[in-house]
Amino acid sequence: MRSKRVLIACEFSGVVREAFKAKGCDAWSCDLLPTEIPGQHHQGNVLDILYGNWDLLIAHPPCTYLCSSGLHWNKRRPERELLTNAAVDFVRTLLTSPIKHIALENPIGRISTAIRQPDQRIQPWMFGHPESKNTCLWLKNLPKLIPTDILELPASGVWKNQTPSGQNKLGPSEDRWKLRSITYSGIAQAMADQWSSVI
């Protein structure tokens, strides 16, 4: 029997890919950037390999032009609205690909109004990480993720990655987007543990 084939789209870190590999899956990551963990990685456009013989797609499309925190710029800069529309089209292509099992993650934003509401919202603190990052999941033929290690909010009233006002501690920098896009290992492990047996 062949190994279950898993494609992790728009992942350069290799975190989710390696979690599925450890479960015996033939897991591949794909991104325009090189992988940070050596392994099975296609550096290039995911659309070039999307229509291969995959059992599961987990997609992390860039949220730059999709997330609510940036959409207010679209009215001031009309060219951004065109980029948002292109990003929505990319998401739609991923969600309608002929792969039986699909999970797509992104922050709250345009996907919810342009395509459909998410099936689930998760937080890192549900999976053993003392951080906050409200993440939406759009699922196809997959169960909702079950939290594995729910942490209590610290006495300070904010999570480890937050300022006292609740904003993210990471200030503006060239690699801020990169640091914030990496999937928490506890979430990656839950995906591999709970979904590898479903596909």
pLDDT digits (tens, 9 = 90+) for 108-129: 888 899 999 999 999 999 999 9
Rounded-to-integer distance, Cα 26 and Cα 5, Å: 5
CATH code at position 37: 3.40.50
Q: Which domain holds residue 77?
A: 5-195
DSSP class of 48 = G
**For the chain, what is the mean pLDDT?**
89
The structural domain count of the chain equals: 1
pLDDT single digits (tens) 142-178: 999 999 999 999 999 999 988 775 556 555 555 544 5
Rounded-to-integer distance, Cα 8 and Cα 193, Å: 15
pLDDT > 90? residue 74 = no
The alpha carbon of residue 182 and the mean position of all alpha carbons in its chain are separated, in whole angstroms, by: 8
